[in-house]
Amino acid sequence: MKAAIVVLADPKPGTEEAFGRVFNALSAAYDYKQKGDDVTILFNGPGTRWSGILTKADHPLNALYRAVEDKIAGVSCGCADAFGAAGDAKANGFALLTDNPIPGTTGLPSLRNLTEQGYSILTF
């Protein structure tokens, strides 16, 4: 099995819903990883802001984040620019994904490339 997990949830409002979405995204990635499946995690849209939050040792999801950190493809470069997360993403070692050159942006990840490679896309 191949799964691409895309986190779109915005942590900025600090709602339980956003926390629940990223918790479930990371949990799904962990499940796939434990079964030996091919899984990758991408942060898009306002979800790119998680790059400055999950990496903090005192965050409640940090242990789960660390357990799947090796499965993180990165963050959408164009989205990180748009949502003010590029600095945190770079500082925390996240790759900036640009394989979909959308006009007027620095590029986004290509979901089409992932589906072409046989990945199922799961969004949170």
Contact by Cβ (8 Å): 29, 39: yes
Q: Which residues contact 45 (CB under 8 A, 6 or more apart)?
A: 8, 10, 76, 79, 83
Q: Which domain holds residue 103?
A: 2-123
Query: Which pLDDT value is given to residue 17?
Result: 93
Query: Which pLDDT value is given to residue 12?
Result: 86
Counting Cβ atoms within 10 Å, is residue 101 exposed (0-12), middle (13-18) or buried (19+)? exposed
Contact by Cβ (8 Å): 96, 66: no
- pTM recorded for the entire structure: 0.95
Query: Which pLDDT value is given to residue 51?
Result: 97
Contact by Cβ (8 Å): 82, 47: no
Query: Which pLDDT value is given to residue 33?
Result: 98
Burial 6-31 (b: 16+ CB within 10 A, else e): bbbbbbeeeeeebbebbbebbbbbbe
Q: What is the mean pLDDT of each run of 10 residues along the chain (124 residues)?
A: 97 88 98 98 98 97 98 98 97 97 96 98 98
Query: Which pLDDT value is given to residue 14?
Result: 75
Whichever domain contains 83, its CATH number is 3.40.1260
Contact by Cβ (8 Å): 94, 65: no
User: How many domains does the chain fold into?
Assistant: 1
